């Protein structure tokens, strides 16, 4: 049995807990009474204002902790979404900068793990080439950075009939490799970012290396989100038999760009357990029962039925 709880930020900037949820929180340590660990998937509307973005994300993370979560997931571009290439680059920082320092302190103060899903990280040759990574950072409850994955697949897409034109590679360096799944309080988390979702090879590689949960923090465009977002997330969950958690950006970031929203939580059977909707920031909480992963894999052992890698490349050799 899974308990899903969805909270939305109101214009008055406060959170209202339904009575059943409020009664399930221990006021002395802010922990849920659930027998299973609780994950929080956040939905954000980032702008070029970094200070306002941190304030909004901090409030959502605090709400998640109050709701009993032991790990919270923030979306791609949680730090900011710039209105131009020049602004995007000028606002970027290194991992040692003020932005990540504030999140490590937040994780430590709340005793909460954080998945920061798409940080504008200055590249190794920043002074000469002015290029950045799109980096997914996991911070533990002690405030330590335990893993950094740099986005592998860059979103270079022209869809004129849908008014979508983005070229991430113009200023972003593709990441050099995948990162091993990270052991967290909710299970082993495999890391992707947004456009990585469209490449099943990435998800299957993480599954082979022990992932029980996949996460794709995103800022999907409205046209591609409406067409593909949910079906892609459910497909990745079904084929890997993992939980899939996808924090999302929502709404208008500035006059040139908006995001689809619908931060989702999907179980290993492909069932959507929670959806933050497509209108406003919020947070969805879900209990993660890893027995669902085990039983799904045991009862439908598709990965035991896979042929060796050579079989799938046999057409190339014929």
Predicted confidence (pLDDT) per residue in 221-253, tens digit: 999 999 999 999 999 999 999 999 999 999 999
Nearest alpha carbon to residue 57 among 77, 85, 38: 77
Active site residue 167: no
Give the total number of structural domains in the chain: 1
Any domain includes 270: yes
Structure tokens at 20: 């059943």
Any domain includes 163: yes
What DSSP string describes 82-98? Answer: -SSHHHHHHT-B-TTSH
Which tops the pLDDT comparison, 207 or 17? 207
Any domain includes 314: no
Any domain includes 311: no
Any domain includes 291: yes
Structure tokens at 154: 């860059």
6, 42, 57, 151: the active-site residue:
151
Any domain includes 318: no
Active site residue 151: yes
Active site residue 242: no
Decide if pLDDT at 101 tops 60. yes
State the distance between the two ends of the chain, measured CA to CA, in whole angstroms: 49
Mean of pLDDT values over 133-149: 98
Any domain includes 103: yes
42, 57, 70, 194: the active-site residue:
194
Any domain includes 85: yes
6, 42, 57, 76: the active-site residue:
76
CATH number, domain containing residue 197: 3.60.110.10
Mean of pLDDT values over 206-211: 98
pTM for the model: 0.89
Residue 283, helix vs strand vs coil: strand
- Residue range(s) defining the domain that contains residue 181: 4-298
């Amino acid at each position: 049995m899974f308990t899903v709880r969805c909270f939305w930020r109101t214009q008055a900037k406060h959170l209202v807990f339904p009575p059943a949820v409020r009664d399930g929180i221990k006021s002395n340590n802010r922990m849920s009474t659930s027998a299973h660990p609780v994950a929080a998937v956040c939905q954000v509307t980032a702008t070029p204002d970094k200070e306002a973005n941190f304030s909004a994300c901090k409030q959502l993370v605090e709400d998640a902790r109050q709701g009993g979560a032991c790990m919270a997931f923030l979306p791609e571009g949680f730090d900011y979404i710039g209105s131009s290439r020049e602004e995007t680059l000028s606002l970027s920082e290194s991992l040692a900068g003020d932005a990540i320092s504030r999140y490590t302190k937040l994780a430590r103060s709340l005793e909460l793990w954080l998945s920061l899903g798409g940080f504008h990280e200055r590249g190794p040759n920043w002074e000469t080439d002015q290029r950045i990574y799109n980096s997914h950072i996991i911070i533990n409850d002690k405030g330590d950075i335990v893993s950094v994955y740099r986005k592998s697949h860059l979103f270079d897409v022209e869809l004129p009939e849908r008014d979508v034109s983005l070229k991430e590679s113009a200023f972003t360096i593709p990441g050099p490799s995948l990162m091993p799944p990270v052991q967290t309080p909710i299970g082993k988390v495999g890391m992707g970012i947004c456009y990585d979702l469209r490449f099943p090879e990435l998800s299957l590689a993480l599954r082979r290396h022990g992932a029980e949960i996949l996460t794709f923090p995103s800022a999907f465009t409205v046209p591609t989100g409406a067409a593909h977002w949910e079906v892609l997330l459910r497909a990745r969950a079904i084929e890997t038999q993992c939980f899939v958690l996808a924090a999302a950006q929502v709404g208008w970031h500035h006059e040139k760009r908006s995001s689809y929203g619908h931060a989702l939580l999907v179980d290993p059977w492909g069932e959507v357990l929670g959806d933050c909707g497509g209108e406003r920031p919020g947070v969805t909480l879900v209990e993660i029962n890893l027995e669902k992963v085990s039983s799904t894999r045991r009862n439908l052992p598709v990965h035991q039925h896979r042929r060796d890698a050579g079989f799938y490349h046999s057409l190339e050799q014929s």
